[in-house]
Amino acid sequence: MVPEFNNILAWVEQLGEVDVTGIEPMTAVIPNSLRLRDDEVDADPLTGGGKRDAVLANAPAAEHGFFGVPKVIE
């Protein structure tokens, strides 16, 4: 397993030597653009938009407008 890992590290080292000046970073092989919608609080009354107080009234614990949850990491 060590030889395979060393081969991978050598390959990554080769990638680091490639001249990429002037090349814009990409997140995908083909250019994609995200289609975003407007962020409207009251867009859909079925999902509770704009009803924070009513939703939090049913929560066992709420703090500063958010659900309160037990601490899980000390």
Q: What confidence tens digit (pLDDT) does each residue in 2-36 have?
A: 999 999 999 999 998 999 999 888 888 887 788 88
Question: Rg of the Cα trace of the chain?
Answer: 25
Q: What is the pLDDT, as a whole number, of residue 45?
A: 61
Q: What confidence tens digit (pLDDT) does each residue in 53-68 have?
A: 888 898 999 988 899 9
CA–chain centroid gap for 11, Å, is: 29
Q: What is the pLDDT, as a whole number, of residue 51?
A: 77
Q: What is the pLDDT, as a whole number, of residue 49?
A: 65
Can you tell me the distance from the alpha carbon of 68 to that of 61, in angstroms, rounded to the nearest whole number? 5
Residue 70 has pLDDT above 60, yes or no: yes
Q: What is the pLDDT, as a whole number, of residue 47?
A: 59
Task: Report domain extents, the chain.
Answer: 43-69
